[in-house]
Structure 1
Amino acid sequence: MSLLATLLGDAPAPADAARGAGPRLLAYVADAASAALLNSAAPSLLPCEVRTGDILSAVRDLARQRSPDLLLVDLSGVADPLAAMEALAGVCDPSVRVIAVGDSNDIGLYRDLRRIGVTDYLFKPLSRDLLEGALRAAGAGAAADEAPGRLGKLVAVVGARGGVGTTTVAVHLGYWLADGARGRTALVDLDLQNGTVALALNLRPEPALREAVEAPDRVDDVFMERAMVAASDRLSVLAAEEPVEDVIDIAPTAALSVLNRLQARHNYVVVDAGRAQGGAARAALEAASIVVLVGDASVAGLRDLVRLRAAIARRSGGGRLVTVLNRRGAPGELPAADLMRTLGEPPEHALPYRPVPLAVAAGVGEPVFRHCRRFREAMERLGADVAGQPAAQDGLFRRWVRR
């Protein structure tokens, strides 16, 4: 399934109150006649705003602002409409319904757009009847909250044991998906008392995550938006710092309710599941489309990596398992030949041991890849793999094995 099929198309939009500010319909058309028709026909059906521009204008604007419930974009004159749709998918909420208009009367283009999830394609010059019909159909679908929607990709990051850098991987993966893949990303720390995701980014978490998981029936999209802290224009963090003396037991169903709500509003939801020892973390692993298993090449780390990999394979809900060897080059690690003999195959990714840049980054609350080129390159490969994008083929571990 293509990226667009995952991120666009037949998905319900949250209620208007949950959307906050912004039009119900946002339209981009390149010609005056289409703009005039939209301004005449659309307001009687739903609140709207019409802007002059094409799909590339929409990509530029939506990279900086909230997505509407319904989006109409103009493909006229665009050399590669499908590539433009791919770019749009990277900046839109997964729940957005998209109508395309254009000057190409090509049945192949129509079929391609429908296949990737575009609600409708209208050929110019636009007729009032066809336009109103498309808007009614898309608007009715957007209002149907009970209809099943397309959700953003859920990625669970789990450590084979403590100290292998699970949070480091989760934080940097979230940053890359937001910055490199240009997707709206939520980063969730399921350790409500001792988690360090917010700390790693020099953020103070809002005191709302506990309420969200203890009373999920009282949570709506407005509540979730206020509970999250922005780390960048595309990356938001949901974390907590609850008293260590409290007993907190997150019900798996409550955790999944929160994660599903986040998936409806984000392209990616990255969960720091720690060592997956609680029911909520295990539920996240089973629900995830990708599980990133982090370990190192120490004797104990390798033992636990093998055990947890087998356990995840038995319990997984069908998600893909990606193994990451962290802290490659650290003192006391096993030789590559021994690691290969134990694992049976190389891990998909390896991240270099760089204690000085890590310490510098931790001190200022920044991603370490701003201070270390090799770590950045390794994270780019991992992030591209998770996002389903092409990346450099020659990974760090494979170069290490060949030495």
Structure 2
Amino acid sequence: MSTVLILGGDDGLAGRVQGYIGHHVFAMGAEVVQGDPRTFLRGLDPATIPEAMVLTDQIPLENALALAREVAALRPDVELVLVAPSVQDVMLTAMRSGFRDVGPTVEDPVLLAGLRDRLDARAAAISSGDSSPGPTVGPPVPRDFTSRVMAVLSPKGGVGKTSLSTNLAVALAQQSPMEVVLVDLDLQFGDVSTVLDLTPTHTVEDAFTSGLQDNLLLKTYLTAHPAGFFVLCGADSPAANDRVTSDDVAALIRQLSGQFRYVLVDTAAGIDEGTLGALEVSDDAIVVSTMDIACLRGVRKEVELLTELGLMPGSRHVVLNFADKQNGLRVKDVEAVLGVPVDFVLPRSKDVPAATNKGVPLMLSARSGGFVKSVKSLAQRIVERARAVEGKAGHKRLEVA
């Protein structure tokens, strides 16, 4: 177990943080770091400096930056975390001073999840015999999993893509808490934040306009959902992302896939630049259709086109939404029009739009029902395929060793 020192906090804050990250946490008041930071460090033996230090906004920024530079010089293996506004200039200056992460509050879920993961990785390395310190600034600690990217798509709007995406994010998070990120890639009219009743501080627009310089900046643009996953919310303005290219989208998703086990992308209706970029780096395509003939034919054309272009991922899941018997079609009829099998059927239910209007995914408010059962089955299939890939990768590593 690692030790974390919070500078500019109290015992209550230390207890809450310890309960989240699972490592020993203690706190000292901001007054101990007033003036020259070297005065504070003189009272510490470099060998006794804790594995991680969190400097809160109770400490003046200049003092925090100066202290970080001194600690980084003495012990470059110490995890340094800063609580400060998520402003690009501040974050870049903090990184140059030796900070590994920056967050808006000490108890920010994204900030704490990153710290916990790095400390867990450090503990695992020590237990395996590798106790060499890692760099204070640099790429994130490698994770022992193969990320899975899923694009939810349909040629038409109004088919329930966002409802499926949000509920699927909940289902995946129930199996892998804090390892799922949902990206609202409808760059003009995305409403994931509305469906989840979130009020984001940052949106996907910030991620693109920042130039995607590093993972530290990208993490600050995510919004945590109480169900245990993160969301990169859509932009407020429909014109905000007019210049975003497929390469921009692919780069964004690649960065996220280095941080999360599951990256779920809710695309816009049709095939735009964003959707093409997402498909280039996706492992799964979740194709959504309703039972009306126009939508079914559109889905068939989309699947055929993407297959011809070589953009259809090898793992495809066809989801039939709003299914009922009143339109005169059976699943067999649907499959005949699509030209491909239907993998999952989501029955029409008044509970789904009611849950959406409340901002609470049905997966959180209902334990049973056809919709919940089908979403769970889809999530389970994705998890099983991810595990199968990880198993093969692990077998190859053993063979090489």
Give the TM interval when normalised to the shorter protein. Answer: 0.5 to 0.7
Whole-angstrom CA distance in 1 between matches of 2:134 and 2:297: 54
Tell me the alpha carbon deviations over residues 290-320 of structure 1, each in whole angstroms, 9 at most, x when there is no partner: 1111112211121112111222323327541
Task: Indicate the residue corresponding to 1:308 in structure 2.
Answer: 302
**Match in the other structure for 2:177:** 182
**Equivalent of 2:383, from 378, 383, 387?**
387
Residue matched to 1:336 = 331
Residue 279 of structure 1 aligns with which residue? 273
Cα offsets for 1:377-397 (capped at 9, x unmatched):
11100111112279xxxxxxx
Mapped to 1, the partners of 2:140 and 2:195 lie a distance apart of 38
2:165 match: 170
Measured against aligned partners, the alpha-carbon deviations of 1:199-235 in whole angstroms (never above 9, x if no partner) come to: 1111123344213213424x43343233221112521
Aligned partner (choices 242, 254, 262) of residue 248 of structure 2: 254
Q: State the partner residue of 2:71.
A: none
CA-atom RMSD in angstroms: 3.8
Q: Which residue of 1 aligns with 2:341?
A: 346
Amino acid at match of 1:357: D
CA distance in 2: counterparts of 1:362 and 1:262, whole angstroms? 26
Once residues 337 and 22 of structure 2 are traced to their aligned partners in structure 1, the CA distance between those partners, rounded to angstroms, is 56
Contact 1:183 1:268 in 2 (8 A): no
Q: State the SS of the aligned residue for 1:388.
A: helix
Residues in 2 aligned to 1:69 and 1:47: alpha-carbon distance in whole angstroms: 14
| 1:324 aligns to 2:355 (yes or no) | no
Per the normalisation by structure 1, the TM-score is: 0.61
Partner of 2:85: none
Residue 77 of structure 2 aligns with which residue? 46
Q: Is the 8 A contact 1:214 1:250 kept in 2?
A: no
Q: Which residue matches 1:59? A: none
- How many residues are matched? 291
Name the structure 1 match of 2:391.
none
User: Structure 1 residue aligned with 2:189, among 191, 194, 215?
Assistant: 194
- Relative to structure 1, is the Cα distance of residues 192 and 343 closer, same or farther in structure 2, using a 3 angstrom cutoff? closer
Q: CA deviation at 1:258?
A: 2.0
- Partner Cα distance (2:140, 2:179) in 1: 24
Match of 1:145 in 2: 139
Alignment of 1:198-277 (within 5 A): 198-217=193-212, 219-232=213-226, 234-244=228-238, 248-277=242-271
8 Å CA contact 2:279, 2:313 repeated in 1 = no
- 8 Å Cα contact 2:195-2:356 kept in structure 1: yes
Mark the CA change 1:120 to 1:310 in structure 2 (over 3 Å): closer, same or farther. Answer: farther
In structure 2, distance between residues paired with 1:288 and 1:304: 21
Indicate conservation of the 8 Å contact 2:188/2:241, yes or no: no
Return the TM-score normalized by structure 2.
0.62
1:156 deviation in Å?
0.7
Pair 1:333–1:190, CA change in 2 (3 A):
farther
Aligned partners of 2:154 and 2:161 also within 8 Å: yes
Alignment of 1:104-123 (within 5 A): 122=128
Instruction: Report the identity percentage.
Output: 21
> Is the partner of 2:134 in helix, strand or coil?
helix
What secondary structure sits across from 1:230 in the alignment?
strand
Amino acid at match of 1:366: V
SS of 1:195 mapped into structure 2: coil
For the residues of structure 1 that align with 2:264 and 2:373, how far apart are their CA atoms?
A: 20
Amino acid at match of 2:378: L
Alpha-carbon distance in 1 for matches of 2:50, 2:360: 45
- SS of the residue 1:203 aligns to: coil
What secondary structure, in the 3-state scheme, does the structure 1 residue paired with 2:356 have? helix
| Structure 2 Cα separation of the partners of residues 363 and 321 of structure 1 | 29
Aligned mates of 1:320, 1:344 — CA distance in 2: 16
Matched, 1:360 2:354: yes
Which residue pairs with 2:288 in the alignment?
A: 294
Unaligned runs of 5+ in 2: 1-13, 24-46, 52-74, 80-109, 387-401
1:374 correspondence with 2:370: yes
- 1:270 CA drift (Å): 0.6
Q: Structure 1 residues 198, 144: CA separation in 2 closer, same or farther (over 3 Å shift)? A: closer
The letter of the residue matching 2:293 is V
The 1:148/1:67 distance shift into structure 2, 3 A limit, reads closer
> Do 2:187 and 2:268's aligned partners in 1 also have CA atoms closer than 8 Å?
no
Measured in 2, the distance between the counterparts of 1:148 and 1:388 equals: 22
Q: Secondary structure at the match of 1:324?
A: strand
Secondary structure at 1:135 match in 2:
coil
Residues 325 and 181 of structure 1, relative CA distance in 2, 3 Å threshold: farther
CA shift in 2, pair 1:267/1:353, >3 Å: same
Task: Find the aligned partners of 1:98 and 1:155 in 2 and give their Cα distance.
Answer: 31
In structure 2, do the counterparts of structure 1 residues 145 and 377 end up closer, same or farther at CA, with 3 Å as the change threshold?
A: same
Task: For 1:308, give the aligned amino acid.
Answer: E
